[in-house]
Amino acid sequence: MTRSAEDLGRGLAPARTARAILPGERIHVVGVAGAGASAAALQAHWAGAIVTGCDAGGSSPYTPGLGAAGIPLAWSHDPAHVTGSARPDRLAVTKALTSIDPGNAELAAAHDLGIAVEPWQQVVADAATGRTLVAVAGTHGKSTTAGWLTHVLVAADQDPAAFVGALLPGSITGGLPATARRGGGAAFVVEADEYAGNFDAFRPDLAVITNVDWDHPDVFVDRSAVIDAVAAWLARSPRATIVANVGDPGVRELLDRLGSWSGRIIRTGIEPDSPRADVRARIEAEPVRGTRIAVTGLGSGPIAIELPLVGRHNVANALGVAGAASSLGVGAEVISRALESFPGVGRRLERKGEAAGVVVYDDYGHHPTAIRATLAAVRQREPGRRVWAAYEPLTYHRTAALIDGFASVLATADGVAIADIWAGRDPDTTVASAEGLAAAVRAQAAGLVAEAPGSVEATAAWLADRVEPGDIVLVMGGGRSYRIGELLLETLAGRSS
């Protein structure tokens, strides 16, 4: 079953032309502990608004920066947040909330009072008014690419503002890790998500397209529908410069649909598959800790660059960053140095620690394509070691629609644990199950240990009883999957102390 953007955004004001946030404007962010909503709260606060926030789910890794900024937070939903003396001028929410809790008391109170209820992306777009808006879109790699580009622009002294859907380290934000960077320069980097028109509020001057794959089966019936959505979004900014990864078949089809684009197109790609790309790389070596490439198109000749990230997918991401940074006036030497010094962003093959000889990595991968790339990357980084894949599926519809792809790629691990599915915005919990996915994995590889232990807590405990010194545990997924690695490390450390 697919649902339209209108269905998912029912009750939300439609995307509009961005306008500057007014000093003293009151903005209340519902679901503020989320990655994007927390960034919207910070950007609105920095723009001079009086910001409050609430989240019934409690604090998250994204909320410490909000507290440090002095933004008042509440851990419940209460119509008094809307009807009280500090009545907001508008509410910012996520479409996930409007789809799973359409009767939310705060939203109902706002509608009764005629207070605008908008997607949090609109607040970010408003905060970017008057800046050069750089939007990073694509099915995979958005957070890494947006964070990497922000890092390059910081290194180039361009002082960018940013919203990235993963924690940026303090070396990039200039303070606590957060999904937002304040910045006073011309460029404002945003991660632009295609789900149900989430990117509609953004009208980019420069768009980076990492790839176009089929995802979000509750909204898109196939890859062609995703391409249509991205093409329609870009068509609203007809003079934008596009940095396009033409090594991806979905991106090539997207460019065909755009026809004679009135703006500039910078094509990027990896040799030998993309010999005509404007910015292209040849992979020279793939050592344990990174990738050695030679990049053409940034200067008079090939430039040798030692990327700190592993995996062919990160070479493609780096080329998108290089093409965008060059378009923004950053010189080849600065681009090269900054690509080499990128510290990474949170939950993107993040090494969480080691206990009792077991190393734990954490990653947001929640799609077969991303999981395949992440497993390959961790094997490059940790050659010859047994790899356990611990996966918390993100939404029931994605799991059901892509179950064969999930089973095929997870079966390439040496052991598999499937945590309970994180429903998120998905109201139909009957179409798939964790045990069903585990069974599909076992069917792919006879003798492979693949089980569905239950909650993230139960999954961590199950792993703790089976891992051995020298093993790698790769945790992947959305929701609360990050707790699997944290709990596993705590358990193993306790046993060895």
For residues 87-110, average pLDDT:
88
Q: How far apart are CA 347 and CA 370, in angstroms?
A: 13
pLDDT at position 264, please? Answer: 97
Instruction: Say if residue 7's pLDDT is above 60.
Output: no
3 state DSSP class of 10: coil
Arithmetic mean of pLDDT over the chain: 95
Kind and range of the H or E element at 285? strand 279-285
Contact by Cβ (8 Å): 161, 181: yes
pLDDT value for 187: 98
* Residue owning tokens 């903005």: 27
CA–CA separation, 125 and 131 (whole Å)? 10
User: Hey, what domains does the chain have and what are their CATH numbers?
Assistant: 5-124 (3.40.50.720), 131-340 (3.40.1190.10), 350-496 (3.90.190.20)
Q: Give the span between the Cα atoms of 244 and 438, in whole angstroms.
A: 36
CB–CB of 321/152 below 8 Å? Answer: yes
pLDDT digits (tens, 9 = 90+) for 334-348: 999 999 999 999 999
Rounded CA separation 97/8 (Å): 9
Please, which pLDDT band fits residue 97 given cuts at 50, 70 and 90?
Answer: confident
Please classify residue 300 by burial: count the beta carbons closer than 10 Å to its beta carbon, then call 0-12 exposed, 13-18 middle and 19+ buried: exposed
Please compute the mean of the pLDDT values over residues 141-153 and round it to a whole number.
Answer: 98
Q: pLDDT tens, 404-444?
A: 999 999 999 999 999 999 998 887 899 999 999 999 999 99
End-to-end CA distance of the chain: 51
50-54, strands of its sheet edge to edge: 73-74, 50-54, 26-30, 90-93, 116-119
C-alpha span between 225 and 239 (Å, rounded)? 23
